[in-house]
């Protein structure tokens, strides 16, 4: 909050977008920050961030859109196909967790387990290979849950990347 207040004070004309796990898990507190943020978007609407920002720029009205996670929610993390000066690319293939451990807020903040379809994994890996990346690191909130409820498993995701010409190494991020 202090950083947000300071940033607004130092950059009064900036468009400030607040999003992420804090917004999703603590939506009431996030709404209180609307005086400093121009657009507040929860994790369920991450793909709408650009459109909502354009709407704010057009109308000038502050926007707060935080929808709760739903059980049947689909994987919605945008592809990233450029990693600047890096030699290794990271590909998010899983999001969320169903475990609800007493110490963890991830299920509230990130929602239930959702997996990127194998076709989309292969397509993104192809784009990365075409840009010169030969190594891909598969990542997720609970990577070992990849494919849960969809008759898939982590090996299917690894196979999808390995099928792409030009990819020489596939690594796994933290499994849990």
CA 12 to CA 100: how far, in whole Å?
40
pLDDT band at 99 (very low <50, low <70, confident <90, very high): confident
pLDDT at residue 79, rounded to an integer? 64
3-state secondary structure of 41: strand
Tens digit of each residue's pLDDT (9 = 90 or more) over 64-84: 888 887 777 677 666 666 665
Q: What is the three-class DSSP state of 173?
A: coil
**Cut 0.75: pTM above it:** no
pLDDT at 81: 61
Beta bridge partners of 19: 41
Q: Report the run of H or E that residue 91 belongs to, with start and end.
A: strand 88-95
Spatial strand order of the sheet with 114-115 comes to 114-115, 88-95, 135-140, 169-172
């Amino acid at each position: 909050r202090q950083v947000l207040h300071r940033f607004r004070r130092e950059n009064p004309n900036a468009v400030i977008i607040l999003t992420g796990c804090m917004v999703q898990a603590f939506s009431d507190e996030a709404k209180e920050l609307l005086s400093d943020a121009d657009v507040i978007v929860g994790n369920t609407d991450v793909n709408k961030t650009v459109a909502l920002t354009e709407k704010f720029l057009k109308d000038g009205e502050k926007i707060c859109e935080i929808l709760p996670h739903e059980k049947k929610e689909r994987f919605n993390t945008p592809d990233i196909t450029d990693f600047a000066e890096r030699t290794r690319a990271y590909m998010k293939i899983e999001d969320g967790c169903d475990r609800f451990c007493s110490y963890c807020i991830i299920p509230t903040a990130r929602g239930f387990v959702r997996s990127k379809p194998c076709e989309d994994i292969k397509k993104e890996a192809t784009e990365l290979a075409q840009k010169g990346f030969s190594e891909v690191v598969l990542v997720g909130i609970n990577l070992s849950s990849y494919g849960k409820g969809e008759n898939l498993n982590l090996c299917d995701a690894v196979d999808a990347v390995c099928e792409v010409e030009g990819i020489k190494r596939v690594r796994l991020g933290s499994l849990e």
